[in-house]
Amino acid sequence: MSAELRVGVVGVGAMGADHVRTLSEAVPSTRVTEVFDRDTDRAKQVAELAGGRVAESAEGLVHSADVDAVVVASPDSTHAALVLACLAAGKPVLCEKPLAVTADDALRVVEAEVAGGRRLVQVGFMRRYDPGYARLKRTLRAGLLGEPRMVHNVHRNAASGPGSTGASIVTGSMIHELDTVPWLLDDRIVGIRVTSPVADGLPDPQLAVIEMASGILATVEVFVNAAYGYDVRCEVVGTAGTASLAPAVPVSLRSAGTDGVEVSSDFVAHFADAYRVELLAWSRAALAGGAEGPSAWDGYLANVVAEAGVAALHSGERHAVSPVDRPSLYDEGVR
Amino acid sequence: MSAELRVGVVGVGAMGADHVRTLSEAVPSTRVTEVFDRDTDRAKQVAELAGGRVAESAEGLVHSADVDAVVVASPDSTHAALVLACLAAGKPVLCEKPLAVTADDALRVVEAEVAGGRRLVQVGFMRRYDPGYARLKRTLRAGLLGEPRMVHNVHRNAASGPGSTGASIVTGSMIHELDTVPWLLDDRIVGIRVTSPVADGLPDPQLAVIEMASGILATVEVFVNAAYGYDVRCEVVGTAGTASLAPAVPVSLRSAGTDGVEVSSDFVAHFADAYRVELLAWSRAALAGGAEGPSAWDGYLANVVAEAGVAALHSGERHAVSPVDRPSLYDEGVR
Amino acid sequence: MSAELRVGVVGVGAMGADHVRTLSEAVPSTRVTEVFDRDTDRAKQVAELAGGRVAESAEGLVHSADVDAVVVASPDSTHAALVLACLAAGKPVLCEKPLAVTADDALRVVEAEVAGGRRLVQVGFMRRYDPGYARLKRTLRAGLLGEPRMVHNVHRNAASGPGSTGASIVTGSMIHELDTVPWLLDDRIVGIRVTSPVADGLPDPQLAVIEMASGILATVEVFVNAAYGYDVRCEVVGTAGTASLAPAVPVSLRSAGTDGVEVSSDFVAHFADAYRVELLAWSRAALAGGAEGPSAWDGYLANVVAEAGVAALHSGERHAVSPVDRPSLYDEGVR
Amino acid sequence: MSAELRVGVVGVGAMGADHVRTLSEAVPSTRVTEVFDRDTDRAKQVAELAGGRVAESAEGLVHSADVDAVVVASPDSTHAALVLACLAAGKPVLCEKPLAVTADDALRVVEAEVAGGRRLVQVGFMRRYDPGYARLKRTLRAGLLGEPRMVHNVHRNAASGPGSTGASIVTGSMIHELDTVPWLLDDRIVGIRVTSPVADGLPDPQLAVIEMASGILATVEVFVNAAYGYDVRCEVVGTAGTASLAPAVPVSLRSAGTDGVEVSSDFVAHFADAYRVELLAWSRAALAGGAEGPSAWDGYLANVVAEAGVAALHSGERHAVSPVDRPSLYDEGVR
């Protein structure tokens, strides 16, 4: 327990800065020693809070002698290259989702990690660490639901950012469910359909119907302009019962003709516990020189399914999901 | 208010007997004067409770001088013929769903009613009278949800009866949603897909994805062996918010490690209020010599969609829904 | 079932008019034949809706040959005299709570009814007919909660009417709980304390602590200016579990940063089911020439406890509750 | 941020061992260097997990050169003396509640701390750090509830341990509410009544009615044999609305005729977040050489109110709460 993990963080926008704060405040045995961001002022500000220094480049940070492990929270298009650099440097890395912009790029990361012979990459699918999702999975595994048959997912944001497209809703938002559902079920996705009630303009909301290898069906509603707030729901339907994520707000309010709970508009606040537990698990595995949790393989699979989802949205047809064979490095998982 | 509606009831199994009780106990200005059932003992027992007498045949009851209006709650295969008899007799009739076993038979009823020039038929889609569904619709119409984009439906029974088939789940259970969703949205169904995670044996649960003329998408999970109880859920998702049916149980219990509400195993109890309001509305329209609420046309449409749904379940493909043109008799509705 | 109960209604303000509507629309075998109100225009309007006529006086209505049974919904100060008149006429009467303004006046009604030798009076403690309260009691009786030990009650109105006083909050609002708690527990109240956090001005909210003969303790918060809406809660705490009234709203809404249910501002709407079931039960007993449910004795007890409560509020002390001995006419109840 | 707090833990029963684990796993900048417990085997086991060593005595631990700050989680009767030793050693200390067994002993701690001129003591009223309670307080302070008028508290355990008495229920369980309510309201307790429905045997449940200096009333039900599980509820009632703790379970289950959430039987699990945040806040203040949060003064006040509560339980009367004047050291708080 006496060892200390010196962490470098690439990209300190909202997500990266939150990771720095969480590492400093809630993850023992870690210290943020270097920070890089293209916005140098921002990098300085965050580095100061953490007691670290500003790196001159992302590559410099990755190879720095003061950095034992790396968190990648920079723009999506830079993920794959940075993770490859970490692998080259033999350093554990937590990469925000998505692992890459294309399945091909993600596959290159997988191949590089396999060539190295040990896991170093964890992908930031933080929902696996959320107390609600974790309990859903335990509930299912404990047999309380019997055999699972369906999963219903809802994923809503108050409003989309600029530049949203039908494809980006799949690759940026739905990708969470594309990882969570297989993980929940210990199963893999073999087919996907994606449709939207909106024909002209941004196809939002979207409805995905996902087929698992076992036959289990999952529905996913993604609605990035749901107006009322940020909301994530999941119900697993089994032959003996169903389990659902409950609103995680600890206080209910009776006021002005309403009895209810507040809905956050902020996914960082919504999943604060998940991020903390994720970073804690990552730091432990990194101190031991490896990685755990969602792997580069999981990141690749999510990219493969997302590409099929985008194609399905555009074609109106079901698309099959055809990943390459899984390398044995990733055999510990059930999938 | 001084007039009295003398009601004959054909078929007094669980549903019909419950209607007799509701009419006697909660619907002013009605009196059950005649009862028919192939099980004569049962008919006697129910007639006695209501203070009516046993008819010798269903046809005799329909044409009896002591019967002003008829409730049809006999086996599905008898519905269309009995409703045609009521139309021939010029008597208002409440027919349990489905109106007919095939869309063609339902169309014959529609044509007969159109030929008579006035509405006499109400189909027993009681959910339209359920306080929850009625409030959902008011909430949507009041604009509180903005523009509707999706509807998610869940319809579960604890266990299926003997003889259930993939087709009967559509025509016997899902048919409720096939009526409710268009009614909620004032829209019509143009396409349907139905799939099941269960490939061998009874295809249960089933997942339907329904497309409305406006583009709105609806999901329907029907699960007739959900084990934990009878459960009906519906969420309407709009651009300004969503509204959901809430569990209607008036007491919550903290006991033995659980904090929650009981789930009924009994759909008659679950929808008791809906049946009462339905019979009340029907009796008023019948006293005035007509019918209101779900029409023969709605019954026909539900049969058409259900046939497409069954075909979709068997083919694995999307099936279009192609009813005949709507006769002007049914123009008052928005559809 | 062929008999018809001709009902006269004295007082058609909000409550009385609602009773007339409920009788007409939802209670078979009753007909509102006469209506009286000091506001003649209002009386006319309501009578017309019901198909009845306007009586010239309350007394005339009570003794009218066209009236079999009477509903008293006039101002509180007139209740006892009108009920005595009904007893003199031998007619079943449903009297809105309170039965009288003082315990002494209520006792006179009890004595008159006892002198007549049969129950004719039902007091309008409609909560006993509310589906939630009725289920609470069934749950307790079924042994699901073990032995009851405490009851927590909350009774809130959005805003008080003009002329509210500390005493009127007890006699007009808290009186519901003063009847409901003994009924729920099959127990009687032996002591009461009432305090308020507000020393100057209207003492609102009030907190009553009630001791039952068995030792069970009940808390009652009454808050007639709770601002957010009309709300009634009750939790029975037993040695094996607790049961609570759940919000009875059938639809939940996610909108504008909130996930919850609407709170009604209207107690008539909140208890609509209770009023309907109450009138149904009353009409049946009245058709049989008697009364059931909350009796004149219950009305008297509530008055006795309310007087002790008012005294307790003013003195700051515990007040004992000392009714006269129960006449054997009221023995059928457990208390 | 580079400094490290070396923590000694006295007493590693369930609570103390949980603190050691939380410090090691979730509180950066702390290291558990020494552990003492009268059960030496247990001490060894816990020390090993934390990478610390076993101290030979509690006093030795307090004065060890390897210990910067102390956590006291030993039996209640040892608390005051250990805290006094920490004060003598000038070391920050987190003492589990209660601070002392009697108000007099607690006062001696207060006097010693005042003599030292700076705060070193934090009392383990961890609810102040619970996300639910913290949000309740923020909600109240933000004015969303208007002016507070009442607070309703429920505090239930599945079963009491051996040796429970009427007094120990007040001093061991209710003491949490005796701290939480004043903290929530920024107010102080001036009077208390405590009664129980159970006259013979263990007086459980208990009902306390608490008067604040402002007049606000609080009810507290404590039930240490509530059978169904561990449960803590709190509702703050204001002139504009009310706010309540919501069940904090992240998953709801529909199974075997029930729709609800599991109730934990374990208060450590229930308040895991609160303990983590408490230790985090304590470690920061201790690193800075001081203390924050619930003070020795708060611990003393809770002891004074608890003594009044025990007297009230035994006498059946209201007891006034009369602490000494507050030393200026504790002025930063609002009370």
DSSP-derived secondary structure for A210-237: EEETTS-EEEEEEETT-SS--EEEEEEE
Gyration radius from chain B CA atoms: 20
Judge whether C133 lies within some domain: yes
**Are B123 and B135 members of one domain?**
no
Contacts of D214 in chain C (CB under 8 A): 197
Give the pLDDT of residue C87. Answer: 98
Instruction: Supply the DSSP string of D237-285, one letter for each residue.
Output: EESSEEEEEPP--SEEEEETTEEEEEPPS-HHHHTHHHHHHHHHHHHHH
- Length of chain C in terms of residues written: 335
Residue D310 lies in a domain: yes
Instruction: Please give the model's pTM, rounded to 2 decimal places.
Output: 0.96
**pLDDT reading at D333 higher than 60:** no
Q: A115 with A133, same domain? A: no
Residue C144: its chain B contacts at CB < 8 A? 253, 255
In a domain, C330, yes or no: no
The pLDDT value given to residue D334: 35
Q: Is B335 a member of any domain?
A: no
Where in the sequence is the domain holding B239, given as residue range(s)? 130-265+301-320
Q: Do B246 and C252 touch (CB under 8 A)?
A: yes
| pLDDT tier, C335 (very low <50, low <70, confident <90, very high otherwise) | very low
Given this model, what pLDDT does residue C334 score? Answer: 35
Q: Is residue B325 part of a domain?
A: no
Task: Give contacts of B209 with chain A, Cβ < 8 Å.
Answer: 195, 207, 209
d(CA B92, CA B285): 8
Cα–Cα distance between B117 and C50 in angstroms, integer?
A: 32
Write out the E strands in chain A: 5-10, 30-36, 53-54, 69-72, 93-95, 121-123, 148-156, 189-195, 206-212, 217-223, 231-238, 241-245, 251-255, 258-262, 319-320
**Does residue C183 sit in the same domain as residue C261?**
yes
pLDDT for C8-56, tens place per residue?
999 999 999 999 999 999 999 999 999 999 999 999 999 999 999 999 9
State how far the Cα of C89 lies from the Cα of D67, in Å rounded to an integer: 90
Q: Within 13 Å, how many C-alpha atoms sit on residue A274's CB side?
A: 21
Residues B305 and B180 grouped into a single domain: yes
Kindly state whether residues A195 and A306 are assigned to the same domain. Answer: yes
Contacts of B216 in chain A (CB under 8 A): 197
| CATH number of residue C85's parent domain | 3.40.50.720
pLDDT at D335: 33
Q: Which of B264, B268, B265, B267 lies closest to B21, judged by CA?
A: B268
Task: Write out pLDDT tens, residues D168-182.
Answer: 999 999 999 999 999
Under 8 Å between Cβ of D190 and D255: no
The CA-based angle D54-D57-D58, given to 5 degrees, is 100
Confidence of residue D257 (pLDDT cuts 50, 70, 90): very high
**Structure confidence by residue, pLDDT tens digits, C111-130:** 999 999 999 999 999 999 99
Q: How confident is the model at residue C247 (pLDDT cuts 50, 70, 90)?
A: confident
> What percentage of chain A has pLDDT greater than the value 70?
99
Nearest CA in chain A to B215: A197
Residue D136: CATH number of its domain: 3.30.360.10
Tell me the nearest-neighbour CA distance from D196 into chain B, angstroms. Answer: 21
pLDDT digits (tens, 9 = 90+) for C59-94: 999 999 999 999 999 999 999 999 999 999 999 999
A213 and A284 co-located in one domain: no
- ipTM entry: 0.95
Name all chains with 3 or more CB-CB pairs below 8 Å to chain B: A, C, D
By C-alpha distance, the chain D residue nearest B156 is: D254
What pLDDT shows up at residue A24?
A: 95
Given a cut of 70, the residues of chain B with pLDDT beneath it are 1-2, 333-335
Which amino acid, residue C308? A
In a domain, A187, yes or no: yes
Tell me the pLDDT band of D198, cut-offs 50, 70 and 90.
Answer: very high
pLDDT digits (tens, 9 = 90+) for D106-125: 999 999 999 999 999 999 99
Do residues D182 and D202 both lie within one domain?
yes
- Residue-level pLDDT at D268: 83
Residue B169 sits in the same domain as residue B314: yes
Interchain pair A237, B205: CB under 8 A: yes
Is the pLDDT confidence value at A164 over 90?
yes
Closest-CA distance of chain A to residue B303, Å: 24
Q: Give the confidence band of A302 by pLDDT, cuts at 50, 70, 90.
A: very high
Mean pLDDT of C260-276: 91
Answer yes or no: do A42 and A185 share one domain. Answer: no
Unique residue bearing structure tokens 């201790």: D286
All residues of chain C having their beta carbon less than 8 Å from the beta carbon of residue A223 are none
**A195 contacts B209? CB cut-off 8 A:** yes
Q: Are D179 and D335 in contact (CB under 8 A)?
A: no
Say whether both C142 and C253 belong to one domain.
yes
pLDDT of residue D159: 96
Same structural domain, A181 and A224: yes
Q: Is A62 an interface residue toward D (CB < 8 Å)?
A: no
pLDDT of residue D161: 87
Residue D183 lies in a domain: yes
Domain check: are C168 and C312 in the same one? Answer: yes
Question: Could you give the number of structural domains in chain A?
Answer: 2
| Domain contains C328 | no
